[in-house]
């Protein structure tokens, strides 16, 4: 695992794109604070830059560094969630502007798997996480179902799957600063 983490760190630091196993599905990632890397990821996916991507943070402390104000209800939702949960927050800060939605929101998840947690802690910044497919294609459920063209276009491919066998996209919940909660994807 350490070799993959080190190679990912080198790639992320130089603005590259990684193909890596997240706590949900195989993802494409880059430095969430690097606008050029985010642009390159949108281009690789053939995805309009108006369609949101999420990012991963290591813990609540890092979450607080990249969101102006985290509503209290978010901590409860994350603490008691029984599956990976992405929360869409208002007013993200210190993030590449092209990653932030037109409505000044950003989806952020705290992954609970060892590989992502270690990678993000060592990188010390959020990492973009978007499914490893071209825009409009189905989300690949495992490494074998990722199109070869995706694998060829990234700067580093993690060598091993560090996830549990059963994976699916995360739940997505939008929380307003007023405390309103809206389920976007179960």
- Domain of residue 81 covers 2-185
pLDDT on residue 164: 66
pLDDT digits (tens, 9 = 90+) for 134-174: 999 998 878 999 999 999 999 999 998 777 655 677 888 89
pLDDT on residue 5: 96
Share of the chain above pLDDT 90, in %: 67
Share of the chain above pLDDT 70, in %: 98
- The model scores a pTM over 0.75: yes
Total domains in the chain come to: 1
pLDDT on residue 38: 97
Sheet holding 18-21, edge to edge: 156-157, 18-21, 26-29, 127-131, 54-56, 105-109, 85-90, 171-175, 181-185
Read off the pLDDT of each residue in 89-117 and give the average, rounded to a whole number.
94
* Domain CATH number, residue 11: 3.90.870.10
């Amino acid at each position: 695992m350490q070799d993959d983490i080190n190679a990912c760190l080198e790639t992320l630091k130089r603005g590259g794109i990684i193909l890596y196993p997240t706590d949900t599905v195989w993802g494409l990632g880059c430095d969430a604070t690097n606008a050029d890397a985010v642009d390159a990821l949108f281009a690789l996916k053939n995805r309009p830059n108006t369609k949101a991507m999420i990012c991963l943070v290591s813990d609540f402390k890092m979450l607080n560094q990249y969101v102006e104000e985290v509503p209290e209800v978010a901590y409860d939702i994350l603490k008691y969630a029984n599956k990976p949960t992405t929360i869409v927050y208002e007013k993200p800060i210190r993030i590449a502007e092209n990653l932030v939605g037109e409505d000044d929101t950003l989806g952020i998840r705290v992954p609970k798997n060892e590989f992502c947690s270690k990678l993000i802690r060592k990188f010390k910044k959020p990492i973009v996480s978007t499914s490893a497919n071209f825009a409009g294609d189905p989300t690949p459920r495992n490494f074998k179902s990722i199109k070869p063209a995706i694998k060829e276009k990234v700067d580093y491919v993690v060598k091993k799957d560090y996830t549990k066998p059963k994976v699916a996209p995360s739940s997505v919940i939008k929380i307003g600063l007023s405390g309103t909660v809206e389920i976007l994807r179960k």
